[in-house]
Amino acid sequence: MTHSAKDLAAEDLAAEDLAAEDLAAEDLAAEDLAADGAAVVRGFLSPEDAANLRRTVNEIYDFLGSCEHISNRLLDFHFHLWHGVWLRPLPGFLRKARPDLQQRYEQSLRAVEAQVGRRFGPGWRFFPKRSYFRRHIGLVRKVPWHIDADAASIYRVAGAAINVWMPLDRVGRDLPSLDFVPRSHAVMRSVPLLAGKDKYRDDAFVDTIGVPSTPQLDVGDALIFDQFVLHRTQNAGSADAVRTACEFRFVRHAAPTLQGLSGWLRYSLNVVFSPDGFLATRAKGLLGLKQPDSSV
């Protein structure tokens, strides 16, 4: 065997070892999600794809912030109320206003979709109705303990929904990550869904469920968790801190449940009719009343 042939054989073995490591990491992520209700996936996106996503999202924020008037009223509502970008109307808005950004957003979304399918199997589909970009600014109110099922359970798919949470800044020290309670999904599936201002849980309740964990994540990493996992915004940051994160929710078809339908109905009514809901916010805007800042 020539020297070059030996080198090629060594390269083939190294490639096989890397492929085996990738498969093991994929299996571990799926196992963690099933057992703990959450999985921390390092390098969920490649450095290039992560950089593209970060750049695209920041440019979307810059563009929306420069608009004197955002033509889509619900996109405008979320953006100005809590610095959120709702992903359901975003592609249509960008297609007309900034087609270059729309194409780059779709490219980044495809990369995320591919990784979800690769690591967690087929059947998961992106659900833009419950997906957002969120920008946390300064020391505004942080979101208390809650489960996504209370606010994001969806009729027909309530039994199978995950949140692919991807920070676009390094989090866990200077900038807030998420605190979550491993294996809490097993308990919370049997707890009645809540709605409105009652959807949050206090520390005393969480202490009865388990011990929180707070992952330190880099750009490109992801925390992926079941909709019944207890989580909250980490108590970290400073007055001038800015943290941007993506919430890509994915769902799989599941049989409808009374619990899922109840949560979805109560959530929908609350969004429209609660004191902090859409109608109340619009009325306050017409009356010139200042809205409180509430980034996540």
User: For the segment 21-41, what is each residue's pLDDT rounded down to a tens digit?
Assistant: 455 556 789 999 999 999 999
Tokens read off for 202: 């206090």
Q: Does position 162 have pLDDT exceeding 50, yes or no? A: yes
Q: Does residue 15 lie in a domain region? A: no
Sign of torsion over alpha carbons 183, 177, 235, 150: negative
Q: Does residue 47 lie in a domain region? A: yes
17: pLDDT confidence band, cut at 50, 70 and 90? Answer: very low
Q: Does residue 285 lie in a domain region? A: no
pLDDT: which is higher, 186 or 274: 186
5: pLDDT confidence band, cut at 50, 70 and 90? Answer: low
pLDDT the model gives residue 142: 77
Residue 56 burial (CB count, 10 A): 22
Q: Does position 295 have pLDDT exceeding 50, yes or no? A: no
Q: Which residues of 238-274 are buried (b: 16+ CB within 10 A; e: fewer)?
A: eeeeebbbbbbbbbbeeeeeebbbbbbebbeebeeee
* Closest to 195 in 3D by CA, of 271, 282, 280: 271
The one-letter code for the residue type at 128 is: P
Domain that holds residue 188: 34-270
Residue pointed to by tokens 């199978």: 160
Cα–Cα distance measured from residue 37 to residue 224, given in angstroms and rounded to the nearest whole number: 8
pLDDT the model gives residue 192: 82
pLDDT the model gives residue 140: 65
171: pLDDT confidence band, cut at 50, 70 and 90? Answer: very high
Q: Does residue 277 lie in a domain region? A: no
Cα–Cα distance measured from residue 167 to residue 165, given in angstroms and rounded to the nearest whole number: 7
The one-letter code for the residue type at 93 is: F
pLDDT 10s digits, 58-93:
999 999 999 999 999 999 999 999 999 999 999 999
* Closest to 208 in 3D by CA, of 187, 228, 231: 187
Q: Based on the structure, what is the number of domains in the chain?
A: 1
Tokens read off for 107: 């490219």
pLDDT 10s digits, 93-148:
999 999 999 999 999 999 999 999 999 998 999 999 999 999 998 876 678 999 99
Instruction: Map residue 134 onto helix, strand or coil.
Output: strand
pLDDT the model gives residue 211: 97
Beta strands in 24-177 (DSSP E): 38-41, 84-86, 125-126, 132-137, 161-167
Cα–Cα distance measured from residue 72 to residue 89, given in angstroms and rounded to the nearest whole number: 7
pLDDT, averaged across the chain: 83
pLDDT the model gives residue 199: 81
* Closest to 197 in 3D by CA, of 109, 274, 288, 87: 274
Q: Does residue 102 lie in a domain region? A: yes
Kindly state the average pLDDT of the residues 201-212: 96
Residue 181 is part of a domain; what is its CATH number?
2.60.120.620
Q: Does residue 286 lie in a domain region? A: no
Residue pointed to by tokens 């798919």: 157
CB contact set of 156 (below 8 Å; sequence gap of 6+): 253, 254, 256, 260
Contact 105, 58 (CB under 8 A): no
pLDDT the model gives residue 28: 84
- What is the secondary structure of 72-121 as a DSSP string? SHHHHHHHHHHSEEETTTHHHHHHHH-HHHHHHHHHHHHHHHHHHHHHH-
Q: Does residue 122 lie in a domain region? A: yes
Beta strands 222-226 and 161-167, pairing class:
antiparallel
pLDDT the model gives residue 3: 56
- Output DSSP code: residue 171: B
Q: Does residue 79 lie in a domain region? A: yes
Instruction: Map residue 49 onto helix, strand or coil.
Output: helix
Give the CA distances from residue 278 to residues 80, 91, 199, in Å, rounded to whole numbers and listed in that order. Answer: 12, 22, 18
Q: Express as a percent the part of the chain with pLDDT over 70.
A: 72
pLDDT: which is higher, 48 or 289: 48
Q: Express as a percent the part of the chain with pLDDT over 90.
A: 61
